[in-house]
Every structure is written in C-alpha cells, then in structure tokens.
Amino acid sequence: MQALNETTQRKYDKLKDELKAIGSVAVAFSGGVDSTLLLTVAHEVLGDQAVGVTIASNLVPPRELDEAKAFCESRGIRHILCPVDALEVEQVRVNPPDRCYWCKHTNFSKIQEVAEELGLAAVAEGSNVDDLGDYRPGLKAVAELKIESPLRAAGLTKAEIREISKAMDLPTWDKPSYACLASRFPYGHAITAAGLDRVDRAEKFLIDLGFQSMRVRVHGDDDPIARIEVAPERFEELITQRDKIVLAFKAMGFRYVTMDLQGYRVGSMNETLKQS
C-alpha cells in the first residue's frame, strides 16, 4: 500500500481498530467508494469473519450488483445477495421526504437477519463524516437499529476514503458517487417499476456515451420530463450529442428532454426541502 499523509494514516489505523473491536461483521456492501473500502479493510482485519451483504433491490441497477459480485469474487470475500422488493414497502413507494428512512430500515433489518444466521456480531455500513452535512433520513434508521458506522467513527471524509482507496489500488477510488434510483424522483411522486426501469435505461445510455458523473431526474407522470444533470464543463459535449439523446429518451417514454443549467450535484431533489 502506498504511503498516506499523517492525518489520513491515523484515521486509517483507527478504522482498523474499530473493526477489530467489533470482532465479526456483516458489511452492507453496495459496491460504492465507501462500502468497498470498509469491506476491504474489514476483510483484511477480520478475515472470514467479515462478510459482504448486498441488497438486491429494484432501486439498484443490475450493473451495480454485477460490480459488487465481481469485486468480492476477485478478493475472495464471502458475498451474499439479499433480495428485497422495495416497492412492497408503502412508505417507499409513495416517496415521502423520509423515504430513505423506511428503505434503510427495511434493508438493514434484512442484513441483521443474515448476520444473526451467520453468527456475526454486528452489521456495519459505510457512511462517512461528510454525510452528516446533508439531508440523510437513512441515518435515523442506522441509529435506531444500532448499525455500526466505522468510517464515521474513524473520522474519515469522502476525500480521505478516496485517498486510502487509491493507495490500496481499489478500483472504486475514483468511482462517481451513486444514490439509489428512487432519488431521481421528486418527493411525493409515486415510484413505479416502469419509472425505475425508464430512468435506469436513460442513465445507462448516458454512461455508454461516456458520462459517468450524471443524473437523470424525472418530473411529471403523464408527460414525463427528463432533467439531465452533467458537470458544467461537459455541457457542450452533451449538446453536441443532443439529437441522439433526445431520440433515445423519447423512445424510452420521455415526452420532454431537458438539461439542468446548474449542472450535476448530489441530492438536487433535496433543494425543495431546503426552501420549505
């Protein structure tokens, strides 16, 4: 592993100490930057007493599940897929502002069941200290269910997690941040299987065009509007491919296709909550 700066090294050592103290753990593993580092370090510290558990939900694109499975196979980490139909949970389906609480409560409860079956002492999740600065109702579920948060306990920021991941040569060190597909819809907009499939296909289309850090937000029911978010420095590139994007999106069922002039930012649907 490459050398870290003194502060990051101290936090990294604290992370290992936190995991040693837990003893055995089921890591809620999405395949993203944070949970990949957490699972990797847990496996290094605890060996087979660290197991990755991935929620196989209709809110998660199949490509994310495939990446999670491939990573665990490449590292020899025991990995369990836990199927969950998120749309069976009414508080998720109707999409209130605290939707994430109900989703996380359901998912972590399932992972706790897996941990109990395997005789593991705890469940751990990958939130970091930066997550405390945004609207994160899912953290309420973490607290209620007594889920461990070793990255936060170690004081690690997102930038430091990426720094450690790069030093460890993890493939996710520069992976764009990701949130479940439900976050593409305004609060109060009912979430359906068809709507999830449409936005997943739209984002996959943009990924295939080379846009990694992006979102396709959806507004409206009968005449759905696609609001595309990409980084401002890529506006021109998006516009040059306008015709093919519009054609593809309309074939998917979008009536209107728009570009957000504010550009890509995490949690843009939360902006309405801040205004209220």
Tell me the mean pLDDT in the region 12-40: 98
Give residue 179's pLDDT band: very low, low, confident or very high (50, 70, 90). confident
CA gap 116, 163 in Å, rounded: 33
Active-site pick, 72, 100, 103, 180: 180
Write the pLDDT tens digit of every residue in 187-241: 999 999 999 999 999 999 999 999 999 999 999 988 899 999 999 999 999 999 9
Burial class (CB in 10 A: 0-12, 13-18, 19+), 126: buried
Active site residue 82: no
Closest to 52 (Cα-Cα) out of 65, 183, 61: 65
Q: Which CATH class is domain 6-167?
A: alpha beta
- The model carries a pTM of 0.92
What is the residue whose two structure tokens read 């969950």?
84
Write the pLDDT tens digit of every residue in 60-108: 999 999 999 999 999 999 999 999 999 999 999 999 999 999 999 999 9
Domain ranges of the chain: 6-167, 181-275
